[in-house]
């Protein structure tokens, strides 16, 4: 329990100093609320604070992986590359923190030990690792979707005598791999980015691959001033148009089925998409993500690209995925497949069962030992619920969030969950979040929450909580849409399939950004339909 002599009373506590928490603090301050952020890290940045591995880079274009809430900010900031590298993103978020004078309300190196709802006073009591605990009317979880590292329980890991890293918890000091034999487990987005970088340095790099990934060439490049100026001139129009697309991205899908064209004409369009870089391949047609035959055409196209990049046919085949493209998140890379042509790189295909374990000298696969000096786990995250599940959160009747979500997360709009009044989640499960460009998505959530709090204060409302029925209906609606999509059929982190024992539930809302935004606005227009609002006197 909280140390009563050290409880600071606030209007709102925000957990997490990433893009969501920083903007939330700014918005609440504007409303005149007393609010603070707590974060376990020693700096702001959230996911981008921790994921500082070599090659870490965002797979959304920098000019649109940025805040839009302040025109001066968006006009003054200069990006240097098409896709921003982690240090540049961190510099940007630090700049925003200082520009809006937010730092004095951010408690760093302070982790939340528990968050307990005091029903008598309608307040959240937040116990921290620091000297001060907090009580606040509102608790806002800005804990991120990809922030809890997934560290598999490899047998014998503790016996391994070399250095061990996880991409999502990378050390702050420079890690030198020169003259080292390095092993990387994991070939998702993080593995795809770090593998070419380590290969350039290490004496030898062995990659342990459980599932091959589809990797589109990013075609990253420097951004010159004139290109930025052109975008900045039309920033609001471009951003507004992006919000009308499924994922909130700037590249609009070609409104044509891949099956409407001859194979040759289809391939020409796919090539155009490939050359445009990034996820343009996925929007070369409007049905790659939905129609199995169209998907197969895109799969074949990428498998041919792999064969062109890797002349050794056996190796190319090992690198060629067999699952649906886009079912797991499409990776963006730079010379990823070509890296396997190097003499100092070896690919080990694991069976479905994965790595057998480790001993003092290295990684064991089907009885063979691969000796390494350093192990890099690029094994991803306990996505969407992992960061929340690590904090003991107790709501009404002392029910924990983990118990409440034992069969999978349940929310109304991804914003709130039944039994946990005045507790908001930014980009929670049940919202489009990770299927979209996170920045406009975060902004929409933060603005919805701030508007809601303002409405409550104006109408003398003390407590907001979703009705169980509205939550059940929302979860059912999300599941109905998801179950009809191709994405539902893959063992992806969207479904929690990467974490042993995690319930298999498609966590993000897959109905698209426009439908979701419309629903959120309609709920507000109807006086917060689906939420129970209790007045101060009740």
How far apart are CB 398 and ligand NA7 at their closest, in Å? 34
**In angstroms, rounded to a whole number, what is the distance separating the alpha carbons of residues 15 and 287?**
38
**In angstroms, rounded to a whole number, what is the distance separating the alpha carbons of residues 104 and 112?**
18
How far apart are CB 217 and ligand NA7 at their closest, in Å? 16
Closer to ligand NA7 at the Cβ: 61 or 465? 61
How far apart are CB 154 and ligand NA7 at their closest, in Å? 7
**In angstroms, rounded to a whole number, what is the distance separating the alpha carbons of residues 65 and 286?**
23
For the chain, the 3-state helix, strand and coil shares in percent, each to the nearest 5, are: 40, 20, 40
Closer to ligand NA7 at the Cβ: 18 or 186? 186
Token representation of residue 440? 């406009």
Give the closest residue to 240 by CA, choosing from 27, 20, 446, 443.
Answer: 443
How far apart are CB 122 and ligand NA7 at their closest, in Å? 37
Helical H runs in 128-243?
189-201, 225-233, 235-243
Which residues are at the interface with ligand NA7 (CB under 6 A)? 146, 152, 167, 185-191, 210-211, 329, 350, 354-355, 378-381, 493, 498
Helical H runs in 125-214?
189-201
Closer to ligand NA7 at the Cβ: 474 or 493? 493
Closer to ligand NA7 at the Cβ: 123 or 329? 329
How far apart are CB 334 and ligand NA7 at their closest, in Å? 15
How far apart are CB 347 and ligand NA7 at their closest, in Å? 12
Token representation of residue 51? 């994921």
Closer to ligand NA7 at the Cβ: 135 or 379? 379
Closer to ligand NA7 at the Cβ: 189 or 389? 189
Closer to ligand NA7 at the Cβ: 210 or 410? 210
DSSP, collapsed to helix, strand or coil, labels residue 1 as: coil
**Could you identify the residue written with the tokens 């039944």?**
418
Task: Give the total residue count for the chain.
Answer: 538
How far apart are CB 132 and ligand NA7 at their closest, in Å? 33
Helix (H) or strand (E) holding 357: strand 357-358
Closer to ligand NA7 at the Cβ: 298 or 327? 327
How far apart are CB 181 and ligand NA7 at their closest, in Å? 19
**DSSP for residue 187:** -
Token representation of residue 98? 């200082």
How far apart are CB 378 and ligand NA7 at their closest, in Å? 5
Give the closest residue to 427 by CA, choosing from 436, 123, 418.
Answer: 436
What pairing do the DSSP bridges indicate for beta strands 7-15 and 133-141?
Answer: parallel
Closer to ligand NA7 at the Cβ: 329 or 487? 329
**Could you identify the residue written with the tokens 């991409």?**
167
Residues 6+ apart with CB under 8 A from 111: 38, 40, 128, 129
Closer to ligand NA7 at the Cβ: 409 or 466? 409
**Strands of the 204-209 sheet, one edge to the other:** 163-166, 374-377, 181-185, 204-209, 345-349
**In angstroms, rounded to a whole number, what is the distance separating the alpha carbons of residues 14 and 115?**
11
Closer to ligand NA7 at the Cβ: 438 or 452? 438
DSSP, collapsed to helix, strand or coil, labels residue 165 as: strand
**In angstroms, rounded to a whole number, what is the distance separating the alpha carbons of residues 18 and 194?**
22
The closest residue (CB) to ligand NA7 is 188
**Could you identify the residue written with the tokens 């004078």?**
101
How far apart are CB 330 and ligand NA7 at their closest, in Å? 9
Closer to ligand NA7 at the Cβ: 379 or 417? 379
DSSP, collapsed to helix, strand or coil, labels residue 446 as: helix
How far apart are CB 85 and ligand NA7 at their closest, in Å? 14
Half-sphere exposure of 402 (CA within 13 A, CB side): 11
The answer to whether the beta carbons of residues 41 and 70 sit under 8 Å apart is: no
Closer to ligand NA7 at the Cβ: 471 or 492? 492
Residues 6+ apart with CB under 8 A from 367: 356
How far apart are CB 303 and ligand NA7 at their closest, in Å? 17
How far apart are CB 432 and ligand NA7 at their closest, in Å? 13
**In angstroms, rounded to a whole number, what is the distance separating the alpha carbons of residues 350 and 356?**
9
What pairing do the DSSP bridges indicate for beta strands 112-118 and 106-107?
Answer: unpaired
């Amino acid at each position: 329990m909280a140390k009563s002599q050290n409880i600071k009373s606030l209007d709102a506590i925000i957990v997490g100093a990433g893009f969501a928490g920083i903007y939330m603090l700014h918005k609440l301050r504007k409303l005149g609320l007393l609010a603070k952020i707590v974060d376990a890290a020693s700096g702001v940045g959230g996911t981008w604070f921790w994921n500082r591995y070599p090659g870490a880079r965002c797979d959304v274009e920098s000019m649109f992986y940025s805040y839009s809430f302040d025109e001066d900010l968006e006009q003054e900031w200069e990006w240097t590359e098409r896709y921003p590298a982690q240090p540049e993103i961190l510099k940007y978020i630090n700049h925003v923190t200082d520009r809006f004078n937010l730092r004095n309300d951010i408690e760093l190196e302070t982790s939340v030990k528990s968050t307990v709802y005091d029903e008598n006073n309608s307040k959240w009591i937040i116990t921290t690792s620091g000297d001060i605990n907090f009580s606040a009317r509102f608790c806002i979880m800005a804990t991120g979707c990809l922030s809890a590292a997934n560290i598999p329980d490899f047998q014998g890991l503790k016996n391994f005598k070399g250095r061990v890293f996880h991409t999502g918890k990378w050390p702050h000091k420079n890690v030198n791999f020169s003259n080292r034999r390095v092993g990387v487990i994991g070939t998702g987005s993080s593995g795809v980015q770090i593998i070419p970088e380590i290969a350039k340095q290490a004496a030898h790099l062995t990659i342990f691959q459980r599932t091959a990934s589809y990797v589109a060439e990013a075609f990253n490049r420097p951004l010159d001033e004139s290109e930025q100026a052109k975008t900045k001139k039309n920033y609001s129009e471009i951003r507004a148009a992006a919000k009308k697309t499924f994922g909130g991205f700037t590249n609009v899908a070609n409104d044509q089925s891949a099956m409407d064209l001859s194979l040759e004409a289809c391939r020409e369009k796919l090539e155009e998409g490939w050359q445009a870089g990034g996820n343009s391949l996925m929007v070369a047609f409007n049905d790659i993500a939905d129609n199995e035959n169209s998907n197969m055409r895109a799969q074949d196209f990428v498998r041919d690209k792999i064969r062109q990049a890797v002349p050794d046919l056996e190796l190319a085949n090992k690198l060629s995925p067999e699952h649906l493209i886009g079912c797991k998140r499409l990776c963006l890379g730079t010379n990823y497949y070509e890296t396997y042509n190097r003499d100092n790189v070896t690919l080990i295909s694991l069976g479905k069962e994965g790595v057998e374990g480790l001993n003092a000298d290295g990684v064991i696969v089907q009885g063979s030992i691969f000796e390494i000096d350093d192990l890099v786990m690029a094994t991803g995250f306990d996505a969407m619920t992992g960061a929340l599940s690590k904090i003991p959160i107790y709501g009404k009747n002392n029910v924990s969030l983990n118990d409440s979500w034992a069969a999978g997360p349940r929310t109304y709009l991804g914003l709130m969950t039944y039994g946990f009044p005045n507790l908001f989640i930014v980009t929670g499960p049940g919202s489009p979040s990770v299927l979209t460009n996170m920045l406009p998505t975060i902004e929409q959530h933060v603005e919805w929450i701030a508007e809601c709090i303002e409405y409550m204060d104006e109408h003398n409302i003390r407590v907001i909580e979703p009705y169980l029925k509205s939550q059940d209906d929302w979860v059912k609606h999300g599941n109905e849409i998801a179950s009809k999509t191709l994405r539902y059929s893959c063992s992806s982190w969207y479904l929690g399939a990467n974490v042993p024992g995690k319930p298999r539930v498609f966590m993000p809302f897959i109905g698209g950004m426009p439908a979701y935004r419309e629903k959120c606005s309609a709920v507000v227009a109807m006086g917060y339909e689906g939420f129970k609002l209790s007045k101060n006197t009740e």
